[in-house]
Amino acid sequence: MKENMIRSAWKQGWVLVCAVVLMVSACGEDGSKEEAGELLPPTVDTPTDVAGDQFVLTWSKVTGATKFQIEVAIDEDFSQLVEPYDPWRLNATRFTVTELDYGTTYYVRMRTERDDELSAYSNVVVATTLDEPGPEPTTALKEVATTFAVGMAVQTSRLTGEHHEVLTREFDQITAEWEMKMSVMYPTEGVYDFTRSDQIVEYGEANDIAIHGHALIWHSSTPTWVEDFAGTNEEFEAMVKEYITTVVTRYKGRVRSWDVVNEAFQDGSGQLRNTVFRQKMGDDYIEKCYQWTRDADPDVLIFYNDYNMTTDAAKLKASLDMADDFVARDVPIDGIGFQMHIAYNGPDRATIEGAAKKVTDRDLLLHFSELDIRANPNDNMSSLTEQRAIDQQAKYKEVVEIYNAIPETSKFALTVWGMIDSETWLTDFHGYVDWPLMYNDDFSVKKAHTGFLQGLE
């Protein structure tokens, strides 16, 4: 009797263990509790990267799936399926639906295959492709921007042909991208070379385009002989004063404004960079350079220029604290330059507006000085998609709207850092392709240009 009870209990325990094993084996790898033998449909995400003729689908994994079937229709009850998605079979969790019509609403559902089995249908998702694009408006930017200058970065090799046509049609201010920096204008001790800077200034004068000088002092464009200066600190300071006085005097009344010192504060901390100028002239070297600039040209506008000014709170604070101190002590400073090397997805509007307001609240001039907007910040595209071009257009519009809305007393210029995408400095800097500017390589306007116009309007 006792032996039979033990044997019965053992059997019941074995049945319980088997049941637990079956329950566990019926659970999916992702932890979903799938009943034994039941084949679940995938969960389909909202379509992304919607363009005029395509969109991207993603969906969840399903345990045991061998393939998935995608059906695309132009009606909600799926009676009008679109070839070749009637259905399309594949083994993946991402797929680009292509060869679609512009401006059309499509409905998508899926099923899971497991050998010869088919699941029920998934949820239905909807995507409406973009309308067929028409020509972008070609209205000249300077004709619409009536309260501030519209600037463009230039090089002497890009002042003719189609570059010239765009410059003279669209812009009323230019900035030398690199040819008005110390390493170019003062390459050898005691020997100046104004060949390129003269060419840029003369081009502006000949075409009624203002010149923004960039930049007298920048740690990344310092000649080797200056970095290795062999004289005393007093001799070094005298040399810098003579250099600034010589350059600013040469272009007195011809150059509207100067970035006298560029990128003087460290990222994240707002501390002064330990440049050769700081080492040999002291922490007040910026003040000295600004005063020498004003002495050489009493009418020139004097700016401090830096990057990440909207997102690096410490750097912005250091710049504004310096400006406050200069104003309080009658040290010349007229404005702050935000370089604005940003991306289509950030920083957001409130961040840019908040940083700009800190400048304009001080009645300083604000220059958006080196604007470009990356379309490919994550290096995950090989070409500029239609949707990303639209996203970039929206960001250009937003940036220009922000600048256009600041007080009139703080408006100066909004300068774009390059003309056609293939010439952007960002490709070499980041090591991958991007399309951050307003013109295609054939000099036709992009949606980014349309966004700039919309921001002005």
Q: Which residues of 256-284 are buried (b: 16+ CB within 10 A; e: fewer)?
A: bbbbbbbbbbeeeebebeebbbbebbeee
Please tell me the predicted confidence (pLDDT) of residue 131.
Answer: 86
Q: What is the predicted pLDDT for the residue at 343?
A: 98
Kindly state the tokens that stand for 32: 């979903």
Q: How many residues does the chain have?
A: 457
Task: Please give the CATH topology (third level) of the domain spanning 141-456.
Answer: TIM Barrel (3.20.20)
pLDDT at residue 26, as a whole number: 40
pLDDT given for residue 148 in this prediction: 98
| 19 pLDDT more than 90 | no
Q: How far apart are CA 439 and CA 420, in angstroms?
A: 5
Report pLDDT for 134.
83
CB atoms within 10 A of CB 195: 11
pLDDT tens digits, 364-393: 999 999 999 999 999 999 999 998 999 999
In this model, does residue 34 exceed pLDDT 60?
Answer: no
Q: Say what percent of the chain tops pLDDT 70.
A: 92
Q: Domain coordinates of the chain in residue numbers?
A: 27-132, 141-456
Residue 133: predicted pLDDT: 80
Q: Is the dihedral of CA 179, 182, 187, 193 positive or negative?
A: positive
Q: Of 136, 141, 134, 178, nearest to 156 (Cα)?
A: 178
pLDDT of 23 reads 40
8 A C-beta contact, residue 56 and residue 49: yes
Confirm whether 27-132 and 141-456 share one CATH topology.
no
Is a pLDDT exceeding 80 seen at residue 67?
A: yes
What pTM was computed for the model? 0.81
Segment 12-32 shows an average pLDDT of 40
CA distance 402 to 409: 15
Q: What is the mean pLDDT of the chain?
A: 93
Is the pLDDT score of 404 beyond 90? yes
Mean pLDDT of 401-409: 98
pLDDT tier at 58 (50, 70, 90 boundaries)?
very high
Distance between alpha carbon 456 and the CA centroid of its chain, in Å? 20
Give one word for 57, left, alpha or beta, with left for phi > 0 and alpha for psi -120 to 50: beta
Separation of alpha carbons 135 and 436, rounded Å: 20
69-126: pLDDT as tens digits: 999 999 999 999 999 999 999 999 999 999 999 999 999 999 999 999 999 999 999 9
Q: Which pLDDT belongs to residue 51?
A: 86
Which residues are catalytic, by number? Answer: 263, 370
Q: Which of 13-17, 330-334, 444-448 has the lowest mean pLDDT?
A: 13-17
Q: What is the pLDDT of residue 443?
A: 98
pLDDT tens digits, residue range 123-173? 999 999 988 888 999 999 999 999 999 999 999 999 999 999 999 999 999
Amino acid occupying residue 242: E
Listed range (28-32, 152-156, 166-170, 340-344) with the worst mean pLDDT: 28-32
Q: Which CATH class is domain 27-132?
A: mainly beta
Q: Can you name the residues that pair with 200 across neighbouring β-strands?
A: none
| Dist CA 338 CA 449 (whole Å) | 20
Do residues 437 and 372 make contact, with C-beta atoms less than 8 angstroms apart?
Answer: yes
**pLDDT, position 159:** 98
Count of beta carbons in the 10 Å neighbourhood of residue 66 = 13
The CA distance from 78 to 106, in Å, is 10
Contact 207, 173 (CB under 8 A): no
% of the chain surpassing 90 pLDDT: 89
Q: HEC states along the chain?
A: CHHHHHHHHHHHHHHHHHHHHHHHHCECCCCCECCCCCCCCCCECCCECCCCCCEEEEECCCCCCCEEEEEEECCCCCCCECCCCCCEEECCCEEEECCCCCCCEEEEEEEEEECCEECCCCCCEEEECCCCCCCCCCCCHHHHCCCCEEEEEECHHHCCHHHHHHHHHHCCEEEECCCCCHHHHCCECCECCCHHHHHHHHHHHHCCCEEEEEEEEEHHHCCHHHHCCCCCHHHHHHHHHHHHHHHHHHCCCCCCEEEEEECCECCCCCCECCCHHHHHHCCCHHHHHHHHHHHHCCCCEEEEEECCCCCCHHHHHHHHHHHHHHHHCCCCCCEEEECCEEECCECCHHHHHHHHHHHHCCCCEEEEEEEEEECCCCCCCCCCCHHHHHHHHHHHHHHHHHHHCCCHHHEEEEEECCCEHHHCCHHHHHCCCCCCCCECCCCCECHHHHHHHHHHC
Which residue(s) pair with 261 in the sheet? 217, 304
For residue 311, pLDDT beyond 90: yes
Q: What is the CA radius of gyration of the chain?
A: 31
Segment 263-282, tens digit of pLDDT: 999 999 999 999 999 999 99
